[in-house]
Amino acid sequence: MSGTLRPASSEWVFDEQAFLRKIPYPVVPTNLKGVYAGVAPPDDFDPNTASPSELIKNGILWRRPTAADPPAFREAWQKVFSRKWLAKDRIVPTLEPQVGRTHILKKAPRKISDTNYLGYAWSGAVSFTGGPYVGICGIWTVPTVSNAPQPPSSYPSYDSTHYIAYDSSSWVGMDGFGASTDVLQTGVEQYVDTSGNPHYVAWYEWSVPNPPDIAPSYVYQTPIPDFPVSAGDEMFGWVSYLGTTAGVIYLANNTTGQHFSITLPPPPDATFSGNSVEWIMEDPDGGEGTNTALAKFTPVEFTFCLACSPSATNTLGDSTCNIETLDGQVLTSVTLGDYAVTIDFIG
């Protein structure tokens, strides 16, 4: 923990100036207390030739790979930085916390074997080896969602304009599966409303178990309505810890060119442990065990599934998790590939 958080009688407070002095790159405030957006590098900045210190000063915490790194690491860097991420397409995101909704595991999945789990919420790949982790990345295409055969849910969308019948979220994240219970994550919610219409919205959160009354609002799902995403868009997500000072999230839409980064003070009970990393398709807010119905979705393939420790880059890890209903029907199937994970809906 950074030690900058302190309790208040009515709201979460922290030492803003002490926090900002520890951030090695320029940031600006967003509309949400405690969340700072990274400033875009100038258009003539080239990550492929910049020094390590120049990368950090421009908010790129991802170490540029060398010939000694795994081929997938070099290919991922090339995939992300072969295009020009223009300053005009960098946004300061508008953030709308949805208090009460969360992506943290509300019940631990049950172990089927040493590398296979079943639970009500998360489906995808999890790595426990090679940590402690300080960063994770993944590239995926936003799936198309539709009504599933199971009975629907009915609860309000984040903007309260309609009700959700079938829900899902595709995301990358750190911690939350195993020894550590908090999780830092970002991705896309894909859901179908009660009229059968699909919706897509980007989000992030840094969730902790049993959030205290005095905590930053981003311990809950925080949609980003001014960062449009659609089915078929290719997303790049990067999540990392900046020592024990902050969490850092970078999310880019490779289809539209829009991108942003945010830097966050840790919420109470954040551990920075880096015990696990995940590439997940989720039935949100507790999943099938809490009357949330998983949407039917086209296959989700995460590629360039890489996680970094302080001294090395490690490839996709060792375990899979699938979603089951309360009566034991398995709704998803996970296949691990070469630095990739594919998640299919089979319900």
Residue-wise pLDDT for 182-207, tens only, equals 999 999 999 999 999 999 999 999 99
Write down the residue that tokens 């991922």 correspond to: 76
pLDDT of res. 173? 97
Task: Inform me whether the pLDDT recorded for 316 exceeds 90.
Answer: no
**Residue 316 identity (one-letter amino acid):** L
Give CA angle at 324 (120, 319), nearest 5°: 80
Confidence band for 3, pLDDT divided at 50, 70 and 90: very low
β-bridge partners, 101: none
Task: Inform me whether the pLDDT recorded for 217 exceeds 90.
Answer: yes
Least confident among 30-34, 84-88, 141-145, 310-314:
310-314
Helix/strand/coil percentages in the chain, nearest 5: 10, 40, 50
For the chain, the domains span: 5-345
Cis peptide before 132 (omega within 30 of 0): yes
Spatial contact of 76 and 137, defined as CB atoms under 8 Å apart: yes
Overall average pLDDT of the 214-240 stretch:
96
Structure tokens at 238: 């990067």
pLDDT tens for each residue of 9-19: 368 888 999 99
Compare 109 and 5 and report the one with higher pLDDT. 109
CA–CA gap between residue 333 and residue 98 (Å, rounded): 29
Task: Inform me whether the pLDDT recorded for 318 exceeds 70.
Answer: yes
CA distance to 130, 185, 240, 307, per residue, from 339 (Å): 15, 19, 19, 10
**Beta-carbon contacts of residue 235 (< 8 Å; ≥ 6 apart):** 139, 140, 141, 142, 170, 187, 188, 229, 251, 252, 253, 254
**Residue 47 identity (one-letter amino acid):** P
pLDDT of res. 131? 79
pLDDT of res. 158? 87
* Range 53-61 contact pairs with CB under 8 angstroms and sequence separation of 24 or more: 56/24, 56/25, 57/24, 57/25, 58/25, 59/25, 59/26, 59/261, 61/135, 61/238, 61/240, 61/242, 61/248
211 Ramachandran zone, left/alpha/beta (phi>0; psi -120 to 50): beta
Query: 5-345 is classed in which CATH architecture?
Result: Sandwich (2.60)
Q: Which of 190, 222, 191 is nearest to 206 (CA)?
A: 222
**Residue 28 identity (one-letter amino acid):** V
Counting every residue written for the chain, the total comes to 347
pLDDT of res. 4? 37
Task: Inform me whether the pLDDT recorded for 30 exceeds 80.
Answer: yes
Structure tokens at 39: 């400033």
Overall average pLDDT of the 255-276 stretch:
95
Task: Inform me whether the pLDDT recorded for 179 exceeds 80.
Answer: no
CA–CA gap between residue 69 and residue 82 (Å, rounded): 18
pLDDT of res. 1? 29
